[in-house]
Amino acid sequence: MTIPALVLGCTATGCTNSAAVQWKRRTDPGHTLAVFACDSHAITLDAAAHVHATTCTAPGPSGCTCTPEPIPSGTPVQATPPNLPPGWATPATAPTGAA
Ligand SMILES: [Zn+2]
Ligand SMILES: [Zn+2]
């Protein structure tokens, strides 16, 4: 018996592909909803960096039809992963030779 991996599907209507990308859509002030899309329904990387409007039709045949929210200035782009707890780090070099 195997446990199936959790595969998130594309949220485009009628699409059964698994998701390749995600972005956020505004639901209420202060809340956003993650939207998933397969590669054929994906929007551009630039567009995915923004929070999209509730009425945005992406992912879908017409793509993004909203005016995404501007990215707040001064928002740091996380380029490096956060520090991992002890024991979670991967050794930088593989051990050489047989133990
Ligand atoms: Zn799709
Ligand atoms: Zn949009």
User: Does the structure show a pLDDT above 90 at 40?
Assistant: yes
Count other C-beta atoms under 10 Å from residue 21's C-beta: 17
Q: Which amino acid is at 25?
A: R
Mean pLDDT (whole number) for 56-60: 95
State yes or no: pLDDT of 78 exceeds 70: no
Place of tokens 């949220």: 11
Using the mean position of ligand 2's atoms as its centre, give its distance from the Cα of residue 74 in Å.
Answer: 22
Q: What is the DSSP letter of 96?
A: P
DSSP 3: P
Distance 55 CA to ligand 2 centre (A): 8
Inform me whether the pLDDT recorded for 9 exceeds 80: yes
d(CA 99, CA 81): 31
**Cα 37 to averaged position of ligand 1 atoms, centre (Å):** 5
Q: Over pLDDT 90: what percentage of the chain? A: 61
Tell me, in angstroms, the distance from the centre of ligand 2 to residue 45's CA.
12
Above pLDDT 70, what percent of the chain?
Answer: 75
pLDDT at 8 over 70: yes
